[in-house]
């Protein structure tokens, strides 16, 4: 076992303390190239024998692709059978050091391999070497690799992230406050790193497979980060990419889509997804004052044959939204789900008869903001958006707020509505839902007295030591049989979105506190979900990896 493990913005490092030596093993990526380096160094220059072991996957899953390797200078080339990128290959090279290539037979006495995907590289009498793996999208002759400086690449990454986060740094003359600010300063670096992983390698921080942009995900995490750090050019490019995946027939976006040459997507979406690209373009214009993006001509998901301006794409999406309003009211159909994936309706008919008050609040925020921002370029379209937003505001207050409490859902009946996730709800026995309360504050949809009432309810019914929770209790579990909600009622583990604290929703609570000017609650809320020294804010919390955003606060089970 190593004596010490260190992680940086582009590297992991292991320190092995031996009786007469210190061996440092570093794995790091290169800033301006597609290379990952494994560096092994004896600090006393003592020579050792090493074996590097590798399981070759060459695809998304193990044992599903044949391994093709040819010898090149200093190493091996692995060609990947990939229709979208026919030249895709990886070169593995070890500069200036002799080595022997084999498989797992070197570990067995019968000299027979047991796993055809296994690769071993044996090096004898070495005190230092680098193993360089480089990825290439096009066929090219192998080049001779040379040693790569770890310190140089580390500094290049630091420079990159300083530029990306605009040298973000908080300071105070009060020593006690500066301690807290240093926690936020450290977190800003790691969350910048997390955002770039989410953006550039979008199967996420903890999922080994996939590689798609979730439409609502990329419109929130990376997009809001780039706008906050004034990386407007990058934000604009993301928006053009997102809008080019809009379906021209439905006017909507898939739940997720591949963002490069791959043409795969989810094929369907939840009812809130259509609003996120529209909200993002509104946020972009508001932050950057760049109206020129609206005139960019981009295709739809079906291909390059039909290109229209981004403004026209917005109008196509609005036409799709118009069809979902119930009886020309300001209430929209649920259409398969909202932000909480666990609350998808078990009965397909509910897609047309269930109303998510959170989605309605998001719709108001999106359309109301767009109506104001679009006015300088299209006054007639602005008026349409404004009219619909006014309908939403009217009916949200009169139909979705009962006895001073926003219902999580309203189910349309022959006469009126039945309210779900509300104190009057005897069907689920869940009285309160967080996200419509916070979103209606953020959207400035409710009057100040109702906004304050929302926050009073949150603090009384939904706030716990580890943060605010999605609901005041989980959905009833009946052996995994769904009656109302697909996944919430199938979940034997009460964690993540199954009513406990979910960090994303907690962050929106902080946003709502800021909107109301409740600085103290917002400030405390920042540290409740900050993994660095989290026990200072949440005494019952277990240790967490402190350089990574954690998605939820799950119960500890024995």
Q: Mind telling me the catalytic residues?
A: 341
Alpha-carbon distance of 504 to 551, in angstroms, equals 7
Q: DSSP characters for 399-446?
A: IIEETTEE-SEEEE-SSSEEEESSTT--SS----BHHHHHHHHHTT-S
Alpha-carbon distance of 182 to 203, in angstroms, equals 30
Alpha-carbon distance of 71 to 230, in angstroms, equals 46
C-alpha closest to that of 182 among 551, 555, 546: 546
Type and span of the H or E element at 6: strand 4-8
Residue 200 DSSP symbol: H
Residue 260 has phi, psi (to 5 degrees) of -120, -130
Torsion sign across C-alpha atoms 103, 104, 110, 114: negative
Determine contact, residues 344/485, Cβ cutoff 8 Å. yes
C-alpha closest to that of 441 among 345, 327, 364, 535: 364
Alpha-carbon distance of 271 to 355, in angstroms, equals 10
Q: Give one word for 367, left, alpha or beta, with left for phi > 0 and alpha for psi -120 to 50.
A: alpha
Q: What SS3 string covers 96-129?
A: CCCCEEECHHHHCCCCCCCCCCEEEEEEEEECEE
Residue 137 DSSP symbol: S
Q: Give one word for 549, left, alpha or beta, with left for phi > 0 and alpha for psi -120 to 50.
A: beta
Between the CA atoms of 284, 290, 292 and 298, what dihedral angle is there, to the nearest 10 degrees? Answer: -20
CA–chain centroid gap for 294, Å, is 26
Tell me the Cα Rg of the chain.
Answer: 27
């Amino acid at each position: 076992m190593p004596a010490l493990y260190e992680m940086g913005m582009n590297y992991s490092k292991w320190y092995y303390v031996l009786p007469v030596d210190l061996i440092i093993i570093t794995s790091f990526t290169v800033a301006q190239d597609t290379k990952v380096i494994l560096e092994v160094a004896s600090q006393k220059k003592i020579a050792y024998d090493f074996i590097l072991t590798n399981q070759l996957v060459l695809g998304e899953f193990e044992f599903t692709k044949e391994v093709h390797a040819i010898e090149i200078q200093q190493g091996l080339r692995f060609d990947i059978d990939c229709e979208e990128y026919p030249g895709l290959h990886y070169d593995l090279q070890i500069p200036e050091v002799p080595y022997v290539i084999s498989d797992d037979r070197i570990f067995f006495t019968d000299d027979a391999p047991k796993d055809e995907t296994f690769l071993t590289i044996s090096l004898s009498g070495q005190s230092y070497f680098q193993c360089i793996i480089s990825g290439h999208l096009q066929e090219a002759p192998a080049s001779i690799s040379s040693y790569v400086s770890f310190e140089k690449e580390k500094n290049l990454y630091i420079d990159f992230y300083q530029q990306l986060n605009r040298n973000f740094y908080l300071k105070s003359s009060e020593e006690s406050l500066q301690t807290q600010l240093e926690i936020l300063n450290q977190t800003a670096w790691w969350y910048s790193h997390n955002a770039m992983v989410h953006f550039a390698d979008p199967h996420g921080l903890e999922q080994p497979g996939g590689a798609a942009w979730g439409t609502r995900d990329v419109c929130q995490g990376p997009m809001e980060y780039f706008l906050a750090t004034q990386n407007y050019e990058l934000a604009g490019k993301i928006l053009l990419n997102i809008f080019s995946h809009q379906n021209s027939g439905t006017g909507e976006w898939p739940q997720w889509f591949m963002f490069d040459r791959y043409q795969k997507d989810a094929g369907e979406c939840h009812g809130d997804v259509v609003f996120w690209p529209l909200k993002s373009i509104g946020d972009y214009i508001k932050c950057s004052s760049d109206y020129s993006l609206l005139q960019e001509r981009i295709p739809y998901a079906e291909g390059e044959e039909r290109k229209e301006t981004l403004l026209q794409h917005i109008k196509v999406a609005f036409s799709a939204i118009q069809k979902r309003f119930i009886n020309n009211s300001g209430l929209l159909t649920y259409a398969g789900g909202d932000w909480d994936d666990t609350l998808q309706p078990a009965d397909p008919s509910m897609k047309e008869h269930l109303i998510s008050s959170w989605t309605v609040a998001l719709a108001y925020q999106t359309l109301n903001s767009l109506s104001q921002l679009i006015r300088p370029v299209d006054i007639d379209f602005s008026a349409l958006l404004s009219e619909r937003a006014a309908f939403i505001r009217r009916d949200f207050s009169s139909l979705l707020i009962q006895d001073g409490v926003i219902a999580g859902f309203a189910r349309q009946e022959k006469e009126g509505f039945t309210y779900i996730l509300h104190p009057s709800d005897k069907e689920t026995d869940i009285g309160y839902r967080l996200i419509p309360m916070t979103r209606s504050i953020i959207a400035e949809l409710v009057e100040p007295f109702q906004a304050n009432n929302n926050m009073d309810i949150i603090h009384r019914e939904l706030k716990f030591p580890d943060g605010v929770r999605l609901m005041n209790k989980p959905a009833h579990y009946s052996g995994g049989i769904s009656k109302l909600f697909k996944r919430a009622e199938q979940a034997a583990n009460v964690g993540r979105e199954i009513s406990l604290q979910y960090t994303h929703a907690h962050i929106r609570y902080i946003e709502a506190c800021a909107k109301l000017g409740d600085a103290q609650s917002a400030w405390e809320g920042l540290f409740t979900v900050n993994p660095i020294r989290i026990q200072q804010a949440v005494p019952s919390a277990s240790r967490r990896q402190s350089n990574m955003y954690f998605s939820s606060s799950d119960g500890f089970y024995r």
